[in-house]
Amino acid sequence: MTNLGPVPSTGSPLVASGLTKVYGTDHTATHALAGVSLTVSPGESVAIMGPSGSGKTTLLHCLAGIIKPTSGAVSWRGEDLTTLSEGRRTALRRQDFGFVFQSGQLLPELPAVENAALPLMLAGVSRTEATQVAARWLAHLGLAGMEQRRPGELSGGQAQRVAIARALVGSPGVVFADEPTGALDQATGAEVLSVLTGAVQASGAALVVVTHDAGVARYCSRTVTMRDGRVSGEFFAGSPAQQAPAQTHVPDAATRAAMAAHPANGVPSAAQAATTREATR
């Protein structure tokens, strides 16, 4: 039986190696990713930050097995997602991953408890058990008494809490959030981020958040910045400043924003600085 509460870490990192993604061919080709490598450790929260067109959402889609990269590998629990069939990747997303999107993407005809229970029911769990688990998650997220409300009867922040419950009911190993507060006002967004990061941490899952907002990235333990399909910087929250040579380049906008978000760690390592210089050529 599925229960609400912390779960042991899977011990398996999510590892991307040398990812490229090219749309189109020849002179019309667009290089959305240009050799991205990234490891997300169990229980870690990572913000992938960058401006529009930097490749951050494409990277999330590759990490989650939504799309296949042109080259490179994504390793999760001993499997390379890039070699799996569409059916196997669909099953993996349903069983191992959770998703929170900007608009929530709730089904308007279903009450909150059934929206949250959908991943379990799709996995074959009985409706009774699935809605019981979903109801516990809704209560845990502050929505007790709202189980039968439909999305149109919920505020934006309440709807995102339902989406968070839906992402967590199946005890995923990784939760992916794509601009989870993009449709919310600042105060509601901060509230939802606090709920999201706290709930994911309590579940034992890792969290990957895509954002263009340094205020959102501040809620994560690590921020990876992107520019032109490449990683341009990496910053950590709550740890001593890295001992590294001073930067000799002008950081891009995403990197400057991340430095502001994590001021104690705004100096990238020498390797990271070299990556940034290469990305800005």
Q: Is residue 154 part of a domain?
A: yes
The string of pLDDT tens digits covering residues 23-62 is 998 888 999 999 999 999 999 999 999 999 999 999 999 9
Does the residue 31 lie in any domain?
yes
Total domains present in the chain? 1
pTM of the model: 0.80
Residue 36's DSSP bridge partners are 19
For the segment 53-87, what is each residue's pLDDT rounded down to a tens digit? 999 999 999 999 999 999 999 999 989 999 999 99
Are the C-beta atoms of 163 and 31 separated by less than 8 Å?
no
Asked whether the beta carbons of 166 and 86 are under 8 A apart, the reply is: no
Say what the pLDDT of residue 240 is. Answer: 38
Task: Give the percent of the chain with pLDDT over 70.
Answer: 80
Give the residue carrying structure tokens 């705004």: 266
Domain annotation covers residue 9: no
Give the total residue count for the chain. 281
Residue 236: which CATH number?
3.40.50.300
Contact of 63 with 73, CB cutoff 8 Å: no
Whether 4 maps to a domain, the answer reads: no
Average pLDDT of the chain, as a whole number: 83
Q: Could you tell me the residue range of the domain that residue 140 belongs to? A: 14-279
Kindly state the average pLDDT of the residues 129-155: 95
